[in-house]
Amino acid sequence: MKFFARTGLIGLSIVLTLVCSTAAMAADWVNVVSSKTGYELIKKSGSGSEKYAQFGEVMIILAGTALNDEIIKGDPLTSLPLRPGETLYLVTTKDPAVFNMTFPGTRTVYREMGFIVLIAGETAGMNLLSKQSDFTKVELLPANKVILTAPVSTGSTRIKTEDATARFIELLDMKAFLQDLTDLVNFKTRYSYVAPAQKSIEHCEKIFADMGYTTRLQPFKIGSTETHNVIAEIKGTDEKKFGQVLVVGHLDSTSQSPRNDAPGADDNGSGSAGVIALARLLKESGLKPAATVKFVLFMGEEQGLYGSKAYVKELSAEERPTIKAVLNLDMIAFDAVAPLSVMIETSAFNRPMVERMQKLALNYADFTIQTSFNAWGSDHAPFLQQKIPAVLTIESEFATNPHYHKTTDLVENTNQDLCLQILRLNAATLYDFAINPENSN
Ligand SMILES: [Zn+2]
């Protein structure tokens, strides 16, 4: 339902004219208020005609005259008139360059954490829609939806230390993680088209093989260049019942001079070393997973999610529903402003999995967490498009990382504390879905 479309507005105006026949007819207003205030206002109004979208602690409300008088009195953060012919657009991007762009002919309502809400007329709207890519989604602002949940600080709860999940997580080897990350950066570049990238692929396959995993390289093409995904597998003791769990991240990197200098420490050495760390953790624990677990490193992400698309394409119709959870780690190492913060992202259909992860975050990690239901722009997207449950974990501050896609994306600019906390959440999820799925609720 896209209530913000022009036709919806005409309908809304008619309703409001009838209801508030004594009030002076005015244009609709776009307001940004605190989410708490927003929900109270909507409840109080009771007309059901206002449209809203929640982004964490703030809410965008499109309101006609009556409610708007209330909002204006309450001193909104932003209040802009919606003129005839104008519509609200939502841009969801994982590309900081797009995030920081100015869009001619539009007015900005909101811009945070990779989300931009804009008012645009028809021409500017067409221009916006043309910005859509594998990393940027452009749509009419969906109505009456939580796009991004309010932040929850998990550190305020007591982290469990005594149960089986906690004992499993404690085995995470962050020294080995840092060494793997450093080794990946030392390839100088993992840009999909160049020889060092192929070396890094072979390097990672060897790491998995040395741990005892069954490995294979999955070939695919980016244009005329052949490259490979790295796949490491351990069979579950009851795959029939518990299916498979995938832990994935993209190994490739890019920069302003990608052929010879694209260190990609945060993007996505951190996620790749994280996938390796979880594989090591599983082996070190000595536990036999009930579900089959696959650790997958994708190439060609930066050119347009080529690796994950190739992976999903190769899945048979029978295999797809056996995948119970995909954990995508992409950029887990940047955090400039305290407290440590993370966004987990999925699609609305996958609410059960994300709710399990939210619960695990409260019990086993220490950060501020927000959930986005507007998935786009990384390797979880091709899975979600096929209705395969997938969740991305990503640093909340990715859109403001000054080293993104730069030759300065180096290990020294990573935050190892954030890596640890995000890996703790993913380790707990791996335990919950693959090792002890029977007892999960
Ligand atoms: Zn990335």
Mean pLDDT for back-to-back runs of 10 residues, the chain (441 residues):
40 38 55 91 78 94 77 80 93 93 95 96 94 95 94 81 93 98 98 98 98 98 97 97 98 97 98 98 97 98 97 97 98 96 97 96 95 96 98 96 96 98 98 88 43
Look at residue 280 and tell me if it is in a domain: yes
- pLDDT at position 136 is 96
With beta carbons less than 8 A apart as the criterion, state whether 399 and 96 touch. yes
Separation CA 62–CA 438 (nearest Å):
45
pLDDT of residue 8: 38
Q: Please count the other Cβ atoms lying within 10 Å of the Cβ belonging to residue 211.
A: 17
Q: How far is the CA of 45 from the centre of ligand 1 (A)?
A: 43
- Look at residue 417 and tell me if it is in a domain: yes
Q: Which residue among 130, 148, 166 closes a domain?
A: 148
CB 264 within 8 A of CB 253: yes
The one-letter amino acid code at 304 reads: G
Overall domain count for the chain = 2
Q: Which of 123, 148, 173 is the last residue of a domain?
A: 148
- Amino acid 91: pLDDT: 97
Domain boundary among 95, 118, 148: 148
Same domain? 268 vs 315: yes
Tell me the residue range of the domain where 10 lies: 6-148
Compute the distance from residue 330 Cα to the ligand 1 centre, in Å. Answer: 5
pLDDT (0 to 100) of residue 69: 76
Within this chain, do residues 274 and 301 fall inside the same structural domain, yes or no? yes
What confidence score (pLDDT) does residue 440 get?
59
Please name the residue that has the structure tokens 């919806």. Answer: 8
Same domain, yes or no: 122 and 206: no
Going 50 to 55 to 57 to 58, the CA torsion angle's sign is: negative
Per-residue confidence (pLDDT) for residue 27, from 0 to 100: 61
Residue 66, judged by CB atoms within 10 A of its CB (0-12, 13-18, 19+), counts as middle
Distance 379 CA to ligand 1 centre (A): 9
Tokens standing for 35?
Answer: 């989410």
Quick one: 280 and 353 in the same domain? yes
Amino acid 186: pLDDT: 98
Do 181 and 307 share a domain, yes or no?
yes
CA of 256 to the centre of ligand 1 (A): 15
User: What pTM did the predictor assign?
Assistant: 0.91
143 and 161 belong to one structural domain: no
Cα–ligand 1 centroid distance for 392 (angstroms):
11
pLDDT of 19 reads 37
CA 60 to ligand 1 center in whole angstroms: 29
Question: What pLDDT does residue 3 have?
Answer: 42
| Rounded distance from Cα 153 to ligand 1 centre (Å) | 25
**Ligand 1 centre distance from Cα of residue 253 (Å):** 7
Q: Is 1 inside any structural domain? A: no
Domain shared by 92 and 190, yes or no: no
Do 291 and 401 have their domain in common?
Answer: yes
Q: What is the CATH number of the domain that holds 283?
A: 3.40.630.10
125 alpha carbon – ligand 1 mean position (Å): 27
Q: What is the distance in A from the centroid of ligand 1 to the CA of 52? A: 31
8 A C-beta contact, residue 392 and residue 345: yes
Q: Assess whether 267 and 200 both reside in one domain.
A: yes
Same domain for 158 and 144: no
